């Protein structure tokens, strides 16, 4: 069951800024992976534990899930993991100028809220203006990954990313040649495990940042 939270609510205009990377990571110059809609962070905890050569930043709009992730983080010894609460658009717009140029090597939009009603499509996380913002802190060759078990949502995310002209869709041969540095063991999110357990189809695509 998905818990929907309206990202356009005035509640999210009061931003809790993401600190400078040097204040949240032991080594802020490691390549950064951003997971938008990280839930309680189980996927990122696994990634950060297995792959110490990367930093991981999770953004989640459901405050209780971020609190749960941060409580777990406080009782651990991770120097490459951070969780932020809020509307991803607002958070990235507020902080991207503080991020080192070309630090965001990959970003994942895995199973975001579908917002089925047409009048609610503006609430979907992947929007043209957000693609434009994140492209400014991604180096050429950086990866953008989308996954969903909702075909219409997937097709919308796929179209928005393609239309941006800042990313290219990788063909099957290119995908085989791409090493997903942020996820070398091909770990799966809890949502993906659940969908697979139901034997449902997962739509997914990988895009690569083009040179400006």
Q: Which residues are catalytic?
A: 113
Query: How far apart, in whole angstroms, are the C-alpha atoms of residue 160 and residue 135?
Result: 13
Provide the β-strand partners of residue 59: 36, 84
Query: How far apart, in whole angstroms, are the C-alpha atoms of residue 184 and residue 131?
Result: 25
87: enclosing H helix or E strand: none
Listed in sequence order, the residues at least 6 apart from 5 whose beta carbon sits closer than 8 Å to its beta carbon are 61, 62, 113
Provide the β-strand partners of residue 107: 34, 144
- Where are any strands of DSSP class E within 92-163? 104-110, 143-148
Query: What is residue 111's DSSP assignment?
Result: S
Report the DSSP pairing between strands 203-209 and 167-169: antiparallel
């Amino acid at each position: 069951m998905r818990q929907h939270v309206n990202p356009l609510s005035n509640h999210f205009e009061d931003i809790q800024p993401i600190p400078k990377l040097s204040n949240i990571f032991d080594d802020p110059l490691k390549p950064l992976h951003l997971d938008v809609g990280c839930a309680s962070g189980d996927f990122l905890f696994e990634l950060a534990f297995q792959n110490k050569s990367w930093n991981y930043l999770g953004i989640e709009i459901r405050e209780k899930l971020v609190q749960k992730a941060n409580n777990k983080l406080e009782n651990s010894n991770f120097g490459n993991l951070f969780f932020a609460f809020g509307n991803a658009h607002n958070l990235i717009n507020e902080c991207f100028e503080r991020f080192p140029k070309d630090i965001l090597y990959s970003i994942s939009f895995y199973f975001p809220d579908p917002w089925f009603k047409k009048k609610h499509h503006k609430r979907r996380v992947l929007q043209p203006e957000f693609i434009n913002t994140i492209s400014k802190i991604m180096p050429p060759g950086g990866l953008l990954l989308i996954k969903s078990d909702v075909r219409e949502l997937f097709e919308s995310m796929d179209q928005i990313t393609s239309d941006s002209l800042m990313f290219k869709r990788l063909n099957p041969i290119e995908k085989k040649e791409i090493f997903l540095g942020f996820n070398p063991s091909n770990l799966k999110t809890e949502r993906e495990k659940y969908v697979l357990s139901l034997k449902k189809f997962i739509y997914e695509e990988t895009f690569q940042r083009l040179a400006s």
